[in-house]
Each structure stands twice: as C-alpha cells, then as structure tokens.
Chain A
Amino acid sequence: MTQSVYKRLRLNIIILILLISLTPFLLLGGIISNEFSFMFRNGLEEQIKYRARVQANAVDLYLKGRAAILTGIADLHSIDSLVEGEELAHVLGIISARVGGIVDLGVIDDKGQHLAYVGPYNLHGLNYYQERWFAEVMSKGLYISDVYTGYRQIPHYIIAVRRQENQRAWILRATIDSDAFNLFVREAKVGQTGDAFIINREGVFQTKPRFDGKILGESGLNPSLFGEGSVIERTTSDDRRVLLAGCWLKNKDWLLVITQDAAEGMGAFFSTRTAQRIYMAIGCCAIVLITIFTTHLTVRRIEKSYQRKDEFNAKLIQSDKLAALGKMAAGIAHEINNPLAVIGEKTGWMEDLLEEEEFQKSPNYQEYKTSLEKISLHVDRARKIIYNMLSYARKMEPRLEDIDVNDVVNQTISFLDNIARDNNIKIEIDLQPDLPIIAGDQAKLQQVFLNLINNAIDAIGKNGQVQVRTGNKNAHITIDIKDDGPGIPKNLQRKVFDPFFTTKQTGKGTGLGLWICFDIVQNMGGMIQLESEEGRGSTFSVTLPIVPPQRK
C-alpha cells in the first residue's frame, strides 16, 4: 500500500473515533450545563418569589398594625375628647414614641369637616366631603390610600378609620411616614443591585424604587403579568437583565415587587459554568490527543505488518524464481548436452577420417581441416557455457541431509509467526513425535512448507486458523496444511500446480511457488495433493517416503 492510503486510513480512524467519543461527551456536557442552569435559575426564582411573599406579608402586617392602632384609639376616645385640648397631640406623641411610622393625626366629622389636626402641615378647617377616600372610609370603615398629593402637594398616603359614636360617625385619619415605609419595604432587597418596591394596579410606584424612578412615577410594569407564582425577566435601560417577582398585598391593591439582577444572582452559576467549560475543553483536548496518538501507533503497526509481509513475499518470490530458473537451466542444458556430444563425436570422427591418405590429396583438405577444427572449438565453447550454466543450477540442486520433518515445520512456522499474528491468524501445530529421520534437502523442504503455509495465510487474509499436522503412515511421512480460507473452486484445483498459475495480484506472486513445491517434493520421491471445497478452506497434503529417495 502506498503512503496516501495509510494517511487516509489514519484520517478516517481519527474522525470516526473523535465522532464516537466527542459527540456523547459534548452532549452530556451540554445537557448537564443546561440542567444546572435550569435548576439554578429555578432556585433563584423560587428565592425571589419567596422573598416577595414574605415581604408582602410584612407590609400587610405593617399596615394592619397601624390600622389597628388607629381603630383602638378611635374606639377608646369620643370625638369630643379628641377634638378638645391637647388630647390628639398626646395620642400622636405616644404613637410616635411606641410604634412610629405615623406623621400626623386628624379628626374629621361626618360632614367632611376637619375638626382637629396635629402634624407638620396646616390642614385645619379643610373639608374632605368631596374627596373620594372620605366616601370610601365612611362606607367601609377602613381606608388605606394610594400615594397622592392631596392638599399638601407632596406625595403621601393615609390610613383612615371610622368610629360610630351613638348616632354620629367620625373619622380618625393618619398620614403614614413615607420615608419610614419606603425603608421598611426596601428591607427585602438583596445584593448590590436588588430592589423592593410597591406599585399599584396601574403600575404607578407607591414607594420610591432604589434606581430608575420616583414615587408616583410610571414603573412601566404591567401588574397583571405577576400572578401568584410567576417571575418575569426584563432588560433595563442600562442593558442589565433583571428578574422580577411580585406578590399582591392582602388588604390593599398593591403589588410588592422584588427585583434581582440576573447576572448578580447567577454569578455562582456562571463561575461554575466557566469551570465546567474549562474541564470540558481539557477533556476534549485529551480525547483528541489520545485519539491521534493511538491511531498513529495502530496505523504504524498495520503499516509495519504489511511491510513485513511484503518483504517476506518478495524473498519467497525471489527464491521461487531462482529455483525455477535453476530447474529450467538444468533442463535446457541437459537437453542440449546430448546433441552437442553427438556433434563433437561426429566432428572428431570426420577429423579422424581426414587424416587418411586419400583425403590429404584433396585440394580442399586444408579448408576441411580448418572447418572441423573450428567446429570442435565451438562445440567445446558451447560445452563450457553449459557447464557454467549447470554449475549455477547445481547450487539449486538438492543436497542430502538428515531431516527431522517436525524441526523443519517448527522452524518454518517461526518465520511466519509474526505475519500470522499481524493478521490475527492462529497457526495450530499438531506434530506426531518421534517421526523417523529422512534424507533430503532441508532448505528445499523448508521452501515447500514456507510456500504452503504462506499460501494458507494469504488465502485466509485476516482472522482465521491454519492447522499444520504431521503424521506417519504406510512408510510415508505426511504433512497436512489446512486453512479455513475461501477454498479453491473445482475448475481451478487442477491448475494450481501449473507454472505461472496464480490468483494473487500482479507482483504479489509469480505463480511458481506451488509448481516448485510440486517439483521439490517429487524429486524427494513424494507427492503433494490438494483437497479443497469452496467456502470450506483447503488442505495441502505432502507425502514423503521414509526411505531416502533414489537419486536419478
């Protein structure tokens, strides 16, 4: 395979692994971050809703307390005792000292006439008969006003209670200290940016907000958006995101609103999220690096194993070629030697005859003689060429050695072990112990086994099993090499031992391997047989005679 193929393989593996590992990782990270954000936001909302509720209750109590005090005072006094003398001022003094939060007190009769007043404003003698709150308090008995400017021309609120004294009704009215009330309401605020204020049903500020607005100013909020349990989010003029929760007071049409800056409230969450993103980034980097590293190692191993296999194949092919060449050279040389011998002898005979007297008289005697000498010379030359050729071929000739077939099998498999392992092919060896020693050429026999086992490995390709079994029967040693590859089709089985027959790619095999094997085994007096079924694998069986083979 070429470099670019490995590059593509490497890239494919890296992309695949990264996809498989990063997708769930990022997905999980995203989900966790989202859930966390949701939970945190929920917590924050719950918190400000709760604060709104609690503060609304507190404000309710505050107002209710003031109303109760007024009611108590009205119940304990007659209108006359309050109007006359210093009693009203005395009562205001006690309230201011004990409870606070009330600026002035006034007594108004059922005609709306302001009969008595203590406080900082000059309200004596005013008539409230036409005022809306007057009618309200006369009919309901208790009235808490929205902020209004009224006669004094400054925003304030009042609490008024009605006392039915015999046939006569009168009203005790107090002005709530709006500074104290503002401070009380705002106690519910949290943090640098939080706020608490009250708006009425029309969205008008009833207390002064901390930022952005004044009492009786438009809040821009739609009170109907605040149900009992909802939090709304909006962006302020200076581009901050703010969460708002509201709660209606029980005995007044006022909405207590708590605001919380989203960024400030979610600060802890944002820092956690940043930490999470950093961890995720580190994790991603680690995954990418490890993937690249391991893929690199894996591909290199594959590349090396292919290289090893290619080198081994090349060597095997070379030795097959040499063996084939030697065999061919020997065959040709041998066939030429015989006619050459005849030519040599005939020439010699003609030279012999030429020496007789009758020929010596011939005018062309010298020509004949020279020609015959030349023929002899060139026959000799041809003889030497063939001799050299045969000397080369003789290097391929079998030598006689003592062979332990099991040893040869073991040695051969040790050559192929790596290649088999690289391709996840198991070579199973089942050797019969104590095989008789036979005479033969160990190197040649090794070449036979190399070819056969290597073919078996090639036939399987990847993932499989090669079985090598030796045995001893009928005065022959048998060596079976079985693979679980795809097998050889029936019509090709007869051809496998033919020279130049190959199913391998060009350059991967010469088609000489099995032919050489066949020849070597035949020269040893044995034979090779093939048994194969398509889809079931193939078995090559080598049979070698135990007696040393007769040399021819």
Chain B
Amino acid sequence: MIAESLIVSAILFAIGVIGVLTRRNAIILFMCVELMLNAVNLSFVALAKMHGVTGHVFVVMVMTVAAAEAALGLAIVISVFRHFGTVDLSAIRQLRG
C-alpha cells in the first residue's frame, strides 16, 4: 500500500511540476502548485503508516499554510488581473531587469 501511495504521489508531483513549467495561465499555475503540495501530503500520510502520527501533523500544517497561501495567491491573481487585464504570465514581464 505504501509503495503504491508513493508512486501516485510521485506522479502527481511530476504533473504539478510539468504544469508549473509549461503553462502560462496564473490560475492553472496556481492549481499545479496546489497539486504539488497535495502530492507531498499524500506521501506524508502514506509514510505515517510506518513512522507514527508525525506525518499526519505535518499534513495539517501543510494544509493550513496552503490555505493561507491560496487566499494570498488568489488575491494577488485578482489584483494582477485588475492591473494588467490578463492573467497570462508570459504577457506580464514588468520585472525585466
């Protein structure tokens, strides 16, 4: 069971990474980051079977932080949209050096 869970977790994480690297829509990017977080959560839960409840505690921590991050991130996305009229990240390059 643990092996399977870890494999699923790895697959989810890879999907998330590929999404972040290849997609340009801020919302999709955002969802991919969430996917990565939850892939890690899954491996935490799976490994908690072997190593006790610490893994569960971490999952709750991650969820809390992810919730805060989601609130902040979506607020940023909204203000980006208000400012630029788009959430396509390849069009937003104001920080060019």
* A and B co-occur in one complex: no
Enumerate chain B interface residues (CB-CB to A < 8 A). none
Enumerate chain A interface residues (CB-CB to B < 8 A). none
